[in-house]
Amino acid sequence: MKTLRPVKLTLIFAEAGVELVPPELWKHPSVKRWASKRGKSPKKCLLDISFHYSAMKELKDWWKRGRPDILHLCLLEALDSPLNRKGMLQVYAHTYAGKIMKFRQDVRIPKNYFRFIGLMEQLLAEGKVPPDSEDPLIKIEETTLKAITSKCSHIYLMDEMGAKKSALSFAEEIVKHGNPCIIIGCFQSGTFSPDIYMLADERVKIFDEALASWTVTSRVLTAIEIKLGLL
């Protein structure tokens, strides 16, 4: 089934646990050890709970932070999707600290996790990748989620407490909108902040149990592609 009007889906990975190591952790042994192993200053390293668990336990909301691997998997799913290849998808990542990353449709995210870490470190330090480009593949935008979503025709928040819909019936709704937005949480545990909930027109889930962010990304995009006749 094809929609009668073109669809441009805005996909936002919200509250992603992607940030440089905060100043209060620079001197922690686990952080210094990891930075030394990589030949970098602690302040230029990405926070990662796999390597900095003992240091992170004192951080506010530590359970939502230090998980760049979640964003990595979600981006691999989204940016290599047929929907994106057809120019029908715009991907953003919103970080725990409120930074907005915009990904150009032709960007190819490294499949190797450690190369991805380096990419995110460069982006957070320089504001764009490549740093000297006038048309970067990835950039940090001086904007807000509210400003981005205000341009969308309908905003869906993927939430385990939302209304249950099958992936295909959900996709059928989505393709009726010219410029819909889907927000997917990109953190390991906990709930969205109140500001995120306030953006949503509708809260939806596609399964009875909580699913990993990348699984939701894959299933929803595939269902949309089927409804649009791309698959």
Domains in the chain with CATH codes: 9-14+71-113+124-227 (3.40.1280.10), 19-66 (no CATH)
**Do 14 and 184 contact (CB within 8 A), yes or no?**
yes
* Helix, strand counts (H, E) of the chain: 9, 8
Q: What gap in Å lies between CA 120 and CA 164, rounded to an integer?
A: 34
Say which range, 106-110, 165-169, 175-179, has the weakest mean pLDDT. 175-179
Neighbours of 154 (CB within 10 A): 17
pLDDT tens for each residue of 145-162: 999 999 999 999 999 999
pLDDT tens for each residue of 103-122: 999 999 999 999 999 999 99
Q: How far is CA 87 from CA 4, 10, 117, 196, 214, in A?
A: 17, 11, 26, 26, 20
Cα 182 to its chain centre, rounded Å, is: 11
Q: State the average pLDDT for the chain.
A: 95
Please give the model's pTM, rounded to 2 decimal places: 0.94
HSE of 49 in the Cβ direction (CA atoms, 13 Å)?
A: 19
User: pLDDT band at 5, cuts 50/70/90?
Assistant: low
The predicted structure's pLDDT at residue 2: 45
Beta bridge partners of 185: 14
Angle of helix 213-227 relative to helix 167-174, nearest 10 degrees, comes to: 60
HSE of 191 in the Cβ direction (CA atoms, 13 Å)?
A: 9
pLDDT tens for each residue of 118-134: 999 999 999 999 999 99
**Do 107 and 137 contact (CB within 8 A), yes or no?**
yes
Instruction: Give the residue from 18, 203, 146, 14 showing the smallest Cα distance to 92.
Output: 14
**Do 77 and 217 contact (CB within 8 A), yes or no?**
yes
pLDDT tens for each residue of 195-214: 999 999 999 999 999 999 99
